[in-house]
Amino acid sequence: MTAPSTAEADADAADAHDAWPAAAYARDDGAGARNRLLVLPSVICSRLVADRIADAVPGAVSAGHDHGCAQLGADEEQTERTLTGVATNPNVAGAVVVGLGCEGVQSDRLAGALADRGVPVRELSIQGVGGSDEAVDRGVDAATELAASAPRTTAADLGDLTVGVVSSDLQASTVDCADPLIGAFVDRVVDAGGRVVVAGTERLRPHGDAVRETMAEDVAARYEEVIESSPSRTAGLTRRASARSFDELARLWGERPVRDVLPYGAPATHESGVALVNAPTEFAEASTALAAAGAHVVLHATGDGIPTGHPVVPVCKVTGDAETYAALQGDIDVDARTADVADLSTLVGRVVGGERTRAEEHGLTTFAISRAGPSM
């Protein structure tokens, strides 16, 4: 996206007005930017069956992962919490949970948690139905049944959104150009009454004192409990982040205070404002945490132009790097060097209303879950 010329200013202003409110999918407790039918393996052992089911049903997506078996304690709990969060994302219209039958994260327990939270859900296990082929057949039937429900539509405005944000590097073009643009949009969302969830908290580790000073006492205590007590996964990035000031890094979420701090995979519960999510900067793991937190859309600041999206949440790629944009223009949604906050707001409105992001156009998705501890 590039900045409009003077001759196009009036037309672009009208476009910005038309983008909001956006046409969205009605949910019992709000709206969704997409109408995904999610085929969710509860364990690595059932991911290929889940993929085959999703491939056979138009509009279905799968979320294959490497977890759910031979995990211990907090690690298994985090996997189950994350899978539950992703499947209850407002972009999900229904879910088919596929298990093996002997895993730690049991498919029937996961499906029960989804049903308790109001998600239309079906469940099966490969061992329970008599093998992989039978599981595919039954899964296709279940997914087709869920897909037959006609979607209800509604209108969504900025104040109805939960926006996910992650900045995956510390390049100057990202910190000084892309991050501030996203931060200005975050201010708009919060001022409208919406929510923002921010991943990539490893960048903040060298600045713990400065982070806590900006927070209310209870939120600062939560920051210590959730983030400072967990191990850092990318020591090199943390070291590089120490060369940047906290104020520079905090540009990513604008000028509004942090209202809450969320464990990885947990849903956002703050009514409005900014929350930090204890997630790494690595995009696949960060975007899954943001989806689990309830993000309708994710804004990804990237100096390298990482092109992949997420199966549940549309991802807008924002870069401030001239060489990256020149090389990957077809994979980048926003050129932060020339776009302003009105341009970004217009784009998000169109995406919420159904316009596909570049990653969606290319069918590029990735799904990964962070590990909380050792596995067997």
Domains of the chain: 30-153 (3.40.50), 158-362 (3.40.50)
Structure-block tokens of residue 112: 């029960």
Q: What is the largest CA-CA distance in the chain?
A: 66
Helices (H) and strands (E) in the chain, counts: 16, 14
Q: Which pLDDT tens digit goes with each residue over 68-125?
A: 998 888 899 999 999 999 999 999 999 999 999 999 999 999 999 999 999 999 999 9
Whether the bond into 307 is cis, omega within 30 of 0? no
Alpha-carbon span 286 to 277, nearest angstrom:
9
- For tokens 């046409």, the residue is 23
> According to the model, what pLDDT value does residue 276 have?
98
Q: Which of the residues in the chain have pLDDT under 50?
A: 1-17
CB of 189 closer than 8 Å to CB of 270: no
Is the entire prediction scored with pTM above 0.85? Answer: yes
CB of 300 closer than 8 Å to CB of 94: no
Q: Determine the distance from the C-alpha atom of residue 4 to the mean position of all C-alpha atoms in its chain, rounded to a whole number.
A: 29
CB of 32 closer than 8 Å to CB of 25: yes
Q: Name the nearest CA neighbour of 209 among 179, 251, 246, 240.
A: 246
> According to the model, what pLDDT value does residue 99 have?
97
Collapsed DSSP state (helix, strand, coil) of residue 90:
coil
Structure-block tokens of residue 213: 């000073």
* ∠ Cα 170 361 320 (to 5°): 25
Q: How many CB atoms are closer than 10 A to CB 218? A: 10
> According to the model, what pLDDT value does residue 374 have?
58
Q: Name the nearest CA neighbour of 296 among 348, 250, 248.
A: 348
Q: How many CB atoms are closer than 10 A to CB 225? A: 13
Alpha-carbon span 257 to 277, nearest angstrom:
14
